[in-house]
Structure 1
Amino acid sequence: MKRVMVVGCPGAGKSTFSRRLGSVLNEEVYHLDKLFWLPGWVMREREEFIEMQQKVMNQESWVIDGNFGATLPVRLEKADTVIWLDPPREVCLYRILKRYVQNRNKTRPDMGEGCEEKLDFEFIKYVWNFHYDKRPKLKERLHKAAAHKNIHIVKSTIEAERFLDNLQIIKQGSTL
C-alpha cells in the first residue's frame, strides 16, 4: 500500500479518512480540491492541474483523495490501492450539510486557500444524484482495474474505522 487513492461521493468522508490513513501509513496526503481550486473558487487551468497531479504521482508513495473523473484514469493507472468510500447518499448529504454549518466562513484544510465553505442547490443536487450520475461510471472503472489493483469498498463509518484499525495493527506488527 504505497500509492493509494481514496474516492467517493462528496460527503463520503474522503478527506477525513485520507488524513487518518496518511497518519497510519506515515504518508503525505494530497487533496485534489486543494490542488484544483485557486482563491475565490477559481478553477486552476487543466494542464497545470494535470501537471501538479503528475508530480505527486511520480513520487514513490502517496495518498490522494478526490474524484475528478477526467484525471481519474491516470491516477488509477499509477495507484496500487483504491479505497472507495461508498456510504448511502443520505449520509453524504447529511455530512455536506453538517460540514457547511461547521465551516461556514472558513476554508477547510483540504480545500484550496481562500475557498470558504459554500453550499448551493446545484451542489446538493450533485451529491443527491451522484449515486445515479457518477457512481456507475466509477464502479465500471474500478471493476476494470480490479485485476491489478487492491480495491477496498467501504460502505459505512464502522467499516472505515475497522479498516484503519486493522491497518494500524498490521503496521505495528510489521515494526516489531
Structure 2
Amino acid sequence: MAVLPRDDPPGCQLVAANGWTLVSDDDFEAAQREAVAGTAWVIDGNSLATLPIRAAAADTIIVVDPHPLVCLLRILRRRLRYLGGQHSDEVFDRITGEVLRYVMTYRARHLPRVVRCISEHGRDATVLHLRSRRAVRRFVTETRRQRDIGRRG
C-alpha cells in the first residue's frame, strides 16, 4: 500500500515504516484517514480492511484486474529478474505459495468482496474496472487528453 499525495514524491508508504517493518493496524487506519482528508490524493493498495475509508472519500475508484495467468507470468518475470532478492526500490521479492494461491483465487474469492465494499461505501464514486493492459493504456491516454484540453480551455 502506498499513498502518493499529488504534491509529494512517490514513496510515502503506509504499510512499511523504517526498513519495511509493518506498522500497527491502528496506525495504518489512522494514516489512511489522514491521507483521504486531503483535497487531492491517490492511494494504491488492496487492503480490504481499510477499503471503506478510501471508498467513502474517493471520487474515482480504479480496479485493475488482469487475468490471473498474466499476474503469474509477471511474478515469474520479476523472480527471474531479481532472483528472489531485493528490487531497486528496496522491496524484497517474497513469493510464497500463499501469494501464488492468492493470485490464482483473487477473482473468485477476493474481488467479489472488494466490489461489495465499493458498492456499499463508494456510492458517489466513479468506478472503473480495467481488466487488461490495453484498457489501462486507453484510460491513461484519455485522462491525459482530457487534462490537456482542460489546460488549453
Q: Quote the residue 1:101 is aligned against.
A: 80
Q: Give the counterpart of 1:76 among 55, 74, 80.
A: 55
Q: CA deviation at 1:157?
A: 0.2
Structure 2 CA distance for aligned equivalents of residues 30 and 80 of structure 1: 21
Determine if contact 2:32/2:53 at 8 Å carries over to the other structure.
Answer: no
CA RMSD of aligned residues (A): 2.8
Structure 2 CA distance for aligned equivalents of residues 123 and 157 of structure 1: 22
Q: Give the counterpart of 2:37 among 58, 65, 84.
A: 58
Structure 2 CA distance for aligned equivalents of residues 30 and 72 of structure 1: 21
Matched, 1:138 2:117: no
Is there any run of 5+ residues in structure 2 with no aligned partner, and where? none
Question: Which has the higher mean CA deviation after the structures are superposed, 38-47 or 58-67?
Answer: 38-47
The change in CA–CA distance for 1:125 and 1:41 in structure 2 (over 3 A counts) is: farther
Determine if contact 1:108/1:116 at 8 Å carries over to the other structure.
Answer: no
The change in CA–CA distance for 1:79 and 1:91 in structure 2 (over 3 A counts) is: same
Equivalent position amino acid for 1:79 in 2? A
Q: Quote the residue 1:37 is aligned against.
A: 16
Larger radius of gyration: 2
Q: Quote the residue 1:167 is aligned against.
A: 143
The structure with higher relative contact order (CA 8 Å, sep 6+) is 1
After superposition, what is the alpha-carbon deviation per residue over 1:21-73, rounded to whole angstroms, capped at 9, x for unaligned?
x9xxx6658779x3213456542111111122222111110110001110100
Q: Quote the residue 2:134 is aligned against.
A: 158
SS at match of 1:37: coil
The change in CA–CA distance for 1:27 and 1:38 in structure 2 (over 3 A counts) is: closer
Q: CA deviation at 1:144?
A: 3.5
The change in CA–CA distance for 1:31 and 1:125 in structure 2 (over 3 A counts) is: farther
SS at match of 2:42: strand
Aligned 1:13-28 pairs, distance under 5 A: 28=8
Scaled by the length of structure 1, what TM-score is found? Answer: 0.73
Structure 1 CA distance for aligned equivalents of residues 146 and 109 of structure 2: 37
Q: Size of the alignment, in residue pairs? A: 151
The change in CA–CA distance for 1:71 and 1:31 in structure 2 (over 3 A counts) is: farther
Taking only the aligned residue pairs, the percentage that are identical comes to: 25
Determine if contact 1:29/1:63 at 8 Å carries over to the other structure.
Answer: no
Is there any run of 5+ residues in structure 1 with no aligned partner, and where? 1-13
Matched, 1:46 2:22: no
Determine if contact 1:81/1:150 at 8 Å carries over to the other structure.
Answer: yes
